[in-house]
């Protein structure tokens, strides 16, 4: 093969027609893609629900953290059942 002959060989490559029914297959793919994509209303509803859960959790947790992080309800229950809540083994 001559050094420059390669470009002549490339020029001899013929252009071919695409196969028939390719457009039908493309249309089917487009239809499948748009069907599998969730609708905007569903996405909005999901985002709003998640935001609501986040806000409710924040509202419930933040005041508890501000109170010094002590579990007062747990202490109450332990005292009412006569359970010791410190590590002291002997009562003076």
Partner 1 sequence: MTEESSFKDVYDRHVRMVFNLCLNYVQNSDDAQELTQDVFVKVHEGFEKFRGDAALRTWIHRIAINTSLDHLKAQKRQKRSLFSLFRPAGHQAEHVAASAFDHPGVLLENREATARIFGHINALPAQQKTALLMKSMEGLSQNEIAEVMGVSNKAVESLLSRARQHMRKELGRSEG
The residues of the shown chain that bind partner 1, judged by CB under 8 A, are: 1, 3-4, 6-7, 9-19, 22-23, 25-26, 29-30, 33
Residue 20 CA: distances (Å) to CA of 24, 28, 29, 88: 9, 14, 16, 87
**Shortest Cβ 8–partner 1 spacing (Å):** 10
Residue 27 three-state SS: helix
Are 56 and 66 in contact by the 8 Å Cβ rule? The answer is no
- Of 11 and 92, which has the nearer Cβ to partner 1? 11
Question: What's the CA gap between 55 and 61, in Å, rounded?
Answer: 10
Q: Which is nearer to partner 1, 8 or 58 (CB)?
A: 8
**Residue 37 beta carbon to partner 1: minimum distance, rounded to whole angstroms:** 11
Q: How far is the CB of 5 from partner 1 (least distance, A)?
A: 8
Q: Is the CB of 16 or the CB of 65 nearer to partner 1?
A: 16
Q: How many Å separate Cα 69 from the centre of its chain?
A: 31
User: From the CB of 16, what's the least distance to partner 1, in Å?
Assistant: 5
């Amino acid at each position: 093969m001559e050094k420059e002959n390669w470009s002549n060989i490339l020029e001899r490559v013929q252009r071919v027609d695409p196969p028939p029914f390719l457009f039908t297959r493309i249309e089917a793919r487009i239809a499948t893609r748009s069907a599998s994509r969730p609708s905007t209303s569903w996405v909005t509803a999901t985002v709003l629900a998640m935001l609501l859960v986040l806000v409710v959790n924040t509202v419930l947790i933040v005041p508890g953290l501000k109170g010094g992080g002590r579990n007062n309800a747990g202490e109450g229950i332990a005292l009412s059942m006569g359970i010791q809540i410190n590590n002291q083994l002997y009562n003076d």
